[in-house]
Amino acid sequence: MPISLPAREPVKAPAATHCPYCALQCGMNVAAGTGGTGAVEITPRLDVPANSGGLCQKGWTAGELLTGGARLTTPLLHGEPVGWDEALDFVADRIRALQAEHGPDGVAVFGGGGLTNEKAYLLGKFARVVLGTSQIDYNGRFCMSSAAAASNRAFGLDRGLPFPITDLAEAGAVLLAGGNMAETMPPFVRHLTEMRRRGGRLVVVDPRLTATARLADLHLQPTPGTDLALALGLLHLAVAEGHVDAAYVAGRTNGFEAVATSVAAWWPERVERVTGVPVAQMRLAVEILGAADRAVILTGRGAEQHAKGTDTVTAFINLALALGLPGRPGSGYGCVTGQGNGQGGREHGQKADQLPGYRKIDDPAAREHVAKVWGIDPAEIPGPGRSAYELLDALGTPSGPRALLLFGSNPVVSAPRAGHVTDRLRSLDLLVVSDLVLSETAALADVVLPTAQWAEEEGTMTNLEGRVLLRRRALDPPPGVRTDLEIIQGLAVRLGDGTGGPRGAGGFPAEARAVFDELRRASAGGTADYSGITYERIAAETGVFWPCPGTGHPGTPRPFLDGFATPDGRANFVPVEHRPPEEDADADYPLYLTTGRVLAHYQSGAQTRRIAALNAVVSEAFVEVHPDLAERLGVSAGQRLRVVSRRGETEGVARVNPAIRADTVFMPFHWAGANLLTNPALDPVSRMPEFKVCAVRLERVG
């Protein structure tokens, strides 16, 4: 069923837009190159507070993939080029057949934290309205779901930084647990550097002496998987040494006494035995935080990607509440979001348990509101589905989905226990991937749909501050390439009821502004209320902070100043207890593996590994080992090592570095390898897999 796409307006370059990578969403100007080279010119914007004129090497080189030879420019059906109508007709026919045999949940949808708000919204609507499936989740579940769960139960609201990022420069102290922004989002570091220039002090918690830890005034280096015990010990010291803000605790919180009682058992010497962090360093960290007029506690993936990640973040939030930080100007707790739209991507419906506006899918009032916007009966909206890993694990099984539509993700590289996930993808009757390159996952697909890139389409992103930003189209996509919105519309037309209503083209516009206008209505009254935000206002104000309920509302840069988003307006202390990693080191697997990123690459590397300048910096996976461990194993730098866990094995080049603990090895996850090893054990609340610690052994190769 062919449809005619509207003609695109000519691009007026340069366009003021934002970087395609991390959640900092650095501002940049993008223009077609001059001189007939075909290159894309990128310059930093000065008007975006997150980067204020700075870019990292990933941002500077982001234009190379737009014109490079790695782009997909035609649909592929079983590996062969075909036209769009043939590809979409095939997908629609197979979906009908599979749902007729296996029911609505026989088809699943998997999204990504890099999709614009418009794409995330329309994808969630498509899954529930057109497919009628409950089986939808996204890779943001692997990003900051634990911090989101912890923030919701403490504050009643999940926003990565509930304050502008520029507040960090005014803090007297920052404690960063499990983040390495010097490599993952370098322009972020300028705010920490300015804080230290003004006399503030930085404390970093990380098993490695990372580039960020090298900037710190104090580095706490715990055994992997023991961050929770460390946070409990820090709160014990804050209570014992008189750093609790009693007036704040009494006036703005609930539940402190139960938490104070629970941490009484975590005296400093016990914590040192569990974590390896010296008592003197713990005391100094608490003194630095307690003495500061303004202080901020931040968590990143290192603290969150555990089977106890929600409790670990909760323990750091408890510490922040005891010190009286959240809701005070220049102070607070925040989570450093990772993916470009990790915040907005989970707010508007591509998460298994949520509807637009950060509404709960099992809330009758939420279902009624969203169903009215969608023009359907509330009973037609499916209930909660499987979380990301559980969904991938169920693919192709007798009780699981038989087909998967995948947008903006590469789970063959990025999912835990990746070998098993690859097997599940291979077992499907239909795998459809929308991507801009032939990623490792796209290479397995029955149908690959070439999609436009960040600079070739319009849409909004919500950065780590909760600031809604506007991506402008700077370039035309290559001939034959469609946007994800156009792809979703094409499938909706083929699978809809033909009336042009909510199940057809009329309910699935391919124009981003039209989708955003509907998103505004769907989010109205929700926790993440975007109803007062428009494209014009974003452009005029360089972004608008949600919640923004109504066109006359100024937006909310600091949502907790007058109270928290809980029924009584008070924040909640939540008692938590430390427990070991799901898989501890033992005689057969005596080392801890922890994973992370490197400066030159991003996420699964599907984009950055195709950019020559970045690939030249780091071109393959490596295994970082301490000199003592290297000597014990007879390993020298540059030698190939095999890393083996209970789930698989992979290889990498040895890097001998005293920056890591002697009982720990590190691997970046930008290549297919590290996640063959990682443990899919899930947090019981957030359903976050335990990426950050598993037991391994090393073997020399050859």
* pLDDT on residue 486: 97
CA atoms of 107 and 102, how far apart (whole Å): 8
Backbone angles phi, psi at 685, to 5 degrees: -100, -55
Judge whether residue 2 has pLDDT over 60. no
CA atoms of 159 and 546, how far apart (whole Å): 9
pLDDT (tens digit per residue) in 238-280:
999 999 999 999 999 999 999 999 999 999 999 999 999 999 9
Verify that 37 and 167 share a domain, yes or no. no
Task: Tell me which amino acid residue 429 is.
Answer: D
According to DSSP, the β-strands at 544-545 and 679-682 are unpaired
Going by C-alpha positions, the residue among 292, 293, 243, 235 that lies closest to residue 267 is 235
Alpha carbon of 52 to those of 198, 332, 334, 418, 542: distances in Å? 18, 23, 21, 38, 12
The answer to whether 680 touches 141, Cβ cutoff 8 Å, is: no
* pLDDT on residue 499: 63
Verify that 597 and 686 share a domain, yes or no. yes
pLDDT (tens digit per residue) in 660-671:
999 999 999 999
- Domain at 640, CATH number: 2.40.40.20
Exposed e or buried b per residue across 11-44, where buried means at least 16 C-beta atoms within 10 angstroms of its C-beta: bebbbbbbbbbbbbbbbbbbbbeeeeeeebebeb
Cβ-proximal residues to 198 (8 Å cutoff; 6+ apart), any chain = 169, 170
Is residue 298 included in any domain, yes or no? yes
CA atoms of 620 and 667, how far apart (whole Å): 11
- Domain at 31, CATH number: 2.20.25.90
* pLDDT on residue 69: 80
- Judged by DSSP in three states, 207 sits in coil
Verify that 55 and 201 share a domain, yes or no. no
Verify that 294 and 154 share a domain, yes or no. yes
CA atoms of 686 and 217, how far apart (whole Å): 32
28-42, 315-329, 470-484, range with the lowest pLDDT:
28-42
Q: Which of 314, 336, 358 is the last residue of a domain?
A: 336
Verify that 60 and 170 share a domain, yes or no. no
Is residue 320 included in any domain, yes or no? yes
Verify that 57 and 160 share a domain, yes or no. no
| Domain span including residue 270 | 145-336
Judge whether residue 501 has pLDDT over 90. no
- Judged by DSSP in three states, 204 sits in strand
Judge whether residue 36 has pLDDT over 60. no
pLDDT (tens digit per residue) in 225-236:
999 999 999 999
- Domain at 290, CATH number: 3.40.228.10
Exposed e or buried b per residue across 78-111, where buried means at least 16 C-beta atoms within 10 angstroms of its C-beta: eeeebebeebbbbbbebbeebbeebeebbbbbbb
CA atoms of 397 and 387, how far apart (whole Å): 16
CA atoms of 641 and 623, how far apart (whole Å): 7
Judge whether residue 699 has pLDDT over 80. yes
- Token pair 């983040």 is found at 179
Verify that 155 and 281 share a domain, yes or no. yes
Confidence of residue 641 (pLDDT cuts 50, 70, 90): very high
Three-state SS annotation for 247-286: HHHHHHEECHHHHHHHHCCCCHHHHHHHHCCCHHHHHHHH
Is residue 497 included in any domain, yes or no? no
The whole-number average pLDDT for the span 297-322 is: 97
Cross-strand pairs, 109:
136, 405
* pLDDT on residue 235: 98
Is residue 690 included in any domain, yes or no? yes
* Dihedral angle sign, alpha carbons of residues 194, 197, 201, 202: positive
* pLDDT on residue 396: 97
Query: From start to end of 521-621, where are the E strands?
Result: 544-545, 571-572, 591-596
Cross-strand pairs, 642:
651, 699
- Token pair 């100043």 is found at 561
Look up residue 576 and give its two tokens. Answer: 């938590």
Judge whether residue 504 has pLDDT over 80. no
Look up residue 156 and give its two tokens. Answer: 């009643």
Verify that 319 and 204 share a domain, yes or no. yes
Alpha carbon of 538 to those of 166, 459, 469: distances in Å? 19, 11, 6
H helices of 72-126, where?
A: 84-102, 117-125
Is residue 103 included in any domain, yes or no? no
CA atoms of 27 and 48, how far apart (whole Å): 6
Confidence of residue 12 (pLDDT cuts 50, 70, 90): low
Is residue 110 included in any domain, yes or no? no
Judge whether residue 9 has pLDDT over 70. no
Q: Which of 6, 41, 67 is the last residue of a domain?
A: 67
CA max distance for the chain: 71
The whole-number average pLDDT for the span 106-126 is: 97
The whole-number average pLDDT for the span 427-442 is: 97
CA atoms of 420 and 673, how far apart (whole Å): 13
Judge whether residue 34 has pLDDT over 90. no
First to last CA, the chain: 57
Going by C-alpha positions, the residue among 138, 101, 100, 83 that lies closest to residue 116 is 138
Verify that 169 and 261 share a domain, yes or no. yes
Judge whether residue 503 has pLDDT over 90. no
Q: How many domains does one find in the chain?
A: 3
Q: Which of 336, 352, 369 is the last residue of a domain?
A: 336
Is residue 441 included in any domain, yes or no? no
Cross-strand pairs, 592:
664, 695
pLDDT (tens digit per residue) in 512-549:
999 999 999 999 999 999 999 999 999 999 999 999 99
Query: From start to end of 276-353, where are the E strands?
Result: 295-299, 332-335
Verify that 162 and 286 share a domain, yes or no. yes
Verify that 63 and 150 share a domain, yes or no. no
- Count of CB atoms within 10 A of residue 637's CB? 13
| Percent with pLDDT over 70 in the chain | 97
Cross-strand pairs, 432:
405, 447
Confidence of residue 35 (pLDDT cuts 50, 70, 90): low
Confidence of residue 39 (pLDDT cuts 50, 70, 90): confident
- Count of CB atoms within 10 A of residue 368's CB? 12
pLDDT (tens digit per residue) in 669-693:
999 999 999 999 999 999 999 999 9
- Count of CB atoms within 10 A of residue 197's CB? 9
Q: What is the DSSP string of 173-192?
A: EEEEES--HHHH-GGGHHHH
The answer to whether 429 touches 455, Cβ cutoff 8 Å, is: no
Q: What is the CA radius of gyration of the chain?
A: 24
Verify that 281 and 159 share a domain, yes or no. yes
Is residue 193 included in any domain, yes or no? yes
Judge whether residue 78 has pLDDT over 60. yes
Q: What is the DSSP string of 488-518?
A: HHHHHHHHS-SSSSTTSGGGS-SSHHHHHHH
* pLDDT on residue 8: 63
Alpha carbon of 610 to those of 41, 289, 523, 535, 673: distances in Å? 18, 43, 37, 32, 17
Look up residue 53 and give its two tokens. Answer: 């004129």
The whole-number average pLDDT for the span 612-622 is: 94
pLDDT (tens digit per residue) in 166-202:
999 999 999 999 999 999 999 999 999 999 999 999 9
The answer to whether 447 touches 87, Cβ cutoff 8 Å, is: yes
Average pLDDT, the chain: 95
Judge whether residue 10 has pLDDT over 70. no
Backbone angles phi, psi at 459, to 5 degrees: 165, 175
Q: ∠ CA 168-170-175 to the nearest 5 degrees?
A: 45
The whole-number average pLDDT for the span 111-125 is: 97
- Judged by DSSP in three states, 692 sits in coil
Alpha carbon of 23 to those of 185, 271, 295, 468: distances in Å? 8, 33, 22, 11
